Amino acid sequence: MKKSAILLVSLLTTSCSYFTPQTKITFVSNSLMAGDGGYKLDEKILAELKHNGVRAVGQNLSVGGTTTAQLATRMAEINAAWDNSKQYNVLLVWEQTNQLYFGASPLQADSTLRKLITDATAVHPWKVVVATVLPRANDGTPPDQETKRIKSNQMLRINHTGWQLADVAANTEIGEPGDCLNSKYYYDKVHLNDAGQQIEAPIFAEAIEKALK
């Protein structure tokens, strides 16, 4: 083969490799990530990553109404999402709000989340991203939900060794007590609309980028 042909093949191979996403993100969450209301946070996160120069694809395993404990029972499905063809596999887990809502203490919710991560990384070396808990005030929200949420977030912030934290609750427009009553960002006192998700997406993207380093 002539040198010019070899060079062309090399350039084509390099080009294909450059444009092929080398990162896969598996989204594991509840209705906050499942696209409820037609608002697709996962797509916004991928778009933000692309804007930042990170080529990534996503697989969304999120299910509305699920708890952390229920996610933990889907470990086979979660680990089946691992893609050996990718240089990086990111597991983004965002669920404690429903676990707290249905009666778990902050310690119970935290322990369940950490076991889920431990079980997943025992099978594959996931790059893990976890997010803090946002406020909610929908019908039936327990009176101690906010107190438990604050405690849960404290626990996540103090100890997230081995994974990156997307601290969406630290944002003063969507994460403070009572912010969920603001229809500018929340459409039903639980879920964020496009404007709210536009605030979240860069926070998630930054945590993912840190996990890839």
Q: pTM for this structure?
A: 0.90
**How far is it, in rounded angstroms, from Cα 4 to Cα 194?**
50
**Contact (CB, 8 A) for 169 and 155:** no
| Selection from 101, 171, 95 nearest residue 137 by Cα | 101
| pLDDT in the model for residue 2 | 52
**Contact (CB, 8 A) for 68 and 113:** yes
* Percent of the chain predicted with pLDDT > 70: 91
Whether domain 23-212 has CATH 3.40.50.1110: yes
Give yes or no for residue 111 having a pLDDT over 60: yes
Give yes or no for residue 145 having a pLDDT over 80: yes
Element of type H or E holding 13: helix 3-19
Residue 107's pLDDT band (cuts 50, 70, 90): very high
Residues 172-199 have a mean pLDDT of 98
Under DSSP, the state recorded for 197 is H
Lowest mean pLDDT among 11-15, 97-101, 144-148, 187-191: 11-15
Domain ranges within the chain, ordered by starting residue = 23-212
Residues 106-112 have a mean pLDDT of 98
| pLDDT in the model for residue 19 | 55
Token code pair at residue 4: 């010019």
Instruction: Quick: pLDDT tens for 70-80.
Output: 999 999 999 99
**How far is it, in rounded angstroms, from Cα 83 to Cα 127?**
13
**How far is it, in rounded angstroms, from Cα 135 to Cα 141?**
10
Sheet-wide strand order for 23-29? 56-60, 23-29, 88-94, 127-131, 164-166
Token code pair at residue 118: 């431990």
